């Protein structure tokens, strides 16, 4: 048991550069929330629903993280900062990272009969802050969900989901294996298109167009140097 705790603490330290020691990680609200959920889930499986809920409410009061006692959680779940909601029928694999203000929410069954209503997260999934994963969908292994994305459809293995409604940009395995991506959000790779591309790409295109216009004006003037464009006439009101 002690060895498994050390392995859990080391897995968190590998994903978070902030803690200076394992002792510091022991104060993380996410660690306490997961630990108390283990007890609540054990009570839930034993049909001691009131006691399970009592532990759940205490954990939520203590950590700000609400994990339903019925949720199934794998090894080494890291909930960074907190204010996360995980529904009853959610299933989470191993080595999953969830940042703050994430919801693994459910859908309301049309027939009124409760069933599988919440998402299933595969191993090594990263969920960025503010993301909403809704419904009985599956997020494939190694997938990343960017900050504030809203996901309502299945996510392929190794994909990065960005935007509202989230859409997929596939990530090669060698890119995923190279480094851990905090918040599941690519900061330099193209993600959310703005006006057909990233701002820096648009600025580069504008600079290229300016150079071409300057060259054309210089060519028309017979190579005597740059020609200034005439001032615009003011329209009469």
In this structure, what CATH number is given to the domain that contains residue 37?
A: 2.160.10.10
Rounded average pLDDT over 100-105: 96
Total residue length of the chain: 237
DSSP letter for each residue of 165-223: TTEEEE--HHHHHH---GGG--SSS--S-BTTB-HHHHHHHHHHHHHHHHHHHHHHTTS
Any domain includes 158: yes
Q: Are residues 199 and 180 in the same domain?
A: no
- Both tokens assigned to 207: 């600079």
Domain count across the chain? 2
Any domain includes 153: yes
Q: Are residues 176 and 216 in the same domain?
A: no
Q: Are residues 104 and 174 in the same domain?
A: yes
Q: Are residues 38 and 127 in the same domain?
A: yes
Tell which residue, 194, 211, 213, has the closest CA to residue 202.
194
Residue 228 banded pLDDT, cuts 50, 70, 90 = low
By the 8 A CB rule, do 185 and 191 touch?
A: yes
* DSSP run (H or E) holding 133: strand 132-134
225 is in which domain, residue-wise?
193-231
State which of 184, 203, 222 marks the end of a domain.
Answer: 184
Q: Are residues 87 and 167 in the same domain?
A: yes
Decide if pLDDT at 221 tops 90. Answer: no
State which of 147, 166, 184 marks the end of a domain.
Answer: 184
Any domain includes 236: no
Cβ-defined contacts of 201-207 (< 8 Å, 24+): none
Angle of helix 29-45 versus helix 2-15 axis, rounded to 10: 130
Any domain includes 175: yes
pTM of the model: 0.72
By the 8 A CB rule, do 25 and 9 touch?
A: yes
What is the structure's pLDDT at 122? 97
Residue 196 banded pLDDT, cuts 50, 70, 90 = very low
What is the structure's pLDDT at 199? 77
Rounded average pLDDT over 153-162: 92
Any domain includes 15: yes
Q: Are residues 111 and 23 in the same domain?
A: yes
Decide if pLDDT at 57 tops 50. Answer: yes
Any domain includes 150: yes
- Give SS3 for 120: strand
Q: Are residues 197 and 177 in the same domain?
A: no
Any domain includes 237: no
Cβ-Cβ contacts under 8 Å for 61 (sequence gap 6 or more): none
Rounded average pLDDT over 41-70: 97
Q: Are residues 70 and 154 in the same domain?
A: yes
Q: Are residues 46 and 150 in the same domain?
A: yes
Any domain includes 216: yes
- Report how far Cα 2 is from the mean position of its chain's Cα atoms: 30
- Both tokens assigned to 31: 């660690």
Q: Are residues 145 and 200 in the same domain?
A: no
By the 8 A CB rule, do 25 and 5 touch?
A: no
By the 8 A CB rule, do 122 and 91 touch?
A: no
Decide if pLDDT at 208 tops 60. Answer: yes
Q: Are residues 72 and 123 in the same domain?
A: yes
What is the structure's pLDDT at 142? 93
Question: Which range scores top for mean pLDDT: 103-112, 118-127, 171-180, 194-203?
Answer: 118-127
Q: Are residues 128 and 68 in the same domain?
A: yes
Lowest mean pLDDT among 1-5, 27-31, 194-198: 194-198
């Amino acid at each position: 048991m002690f060895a498994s705790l050390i392995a859990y603490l080391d897995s968190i330290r590998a994903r978070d550069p902030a803690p200076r020691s394992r002792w510091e990680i022991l104060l993380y609200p996410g660690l306490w929330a997961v630990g108390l959920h283990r007890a609540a889930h054990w009570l839930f499986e034993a049909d001691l629903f009131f006691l399970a809920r009592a532990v759940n409410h205490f954990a939520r009061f203590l950590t700000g993280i609400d994990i339903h006692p019925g949720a199934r959680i794998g090894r080494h779940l890291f909930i960074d900062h907190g204010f996360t909601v995980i529904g009853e029928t959610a299933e989470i694999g191993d080595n999953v990272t969830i940042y703050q203000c994430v919801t693994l929410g459910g859908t309301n069954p049309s027939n009124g009969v409760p069933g599988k209503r919440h998402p299933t997260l595969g191993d090594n999934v990263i969920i960025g802050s503010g993301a909403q994963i809704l419904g009985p969908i599956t997020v494939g292994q190694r997938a990343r969900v960017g900050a504030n994305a809203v996901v309502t459809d299945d996510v392929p293995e190794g994909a990065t989901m960005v935007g509202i409604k989230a859409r997929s940009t596939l990530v090669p395995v060698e890119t995923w294996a190279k480094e851990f991506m905090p918040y599941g959000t690519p900061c330099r790779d193209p993600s959310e298109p703005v006006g057909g591309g990233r701002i820096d790409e648009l600025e580069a295109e504008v600079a290229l167009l300016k150079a071409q216009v300057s060259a054309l004006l210089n060519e028309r003037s017979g190579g005597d140097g740059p020609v200034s464009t005439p001032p615009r006439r003011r329209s009469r009101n």
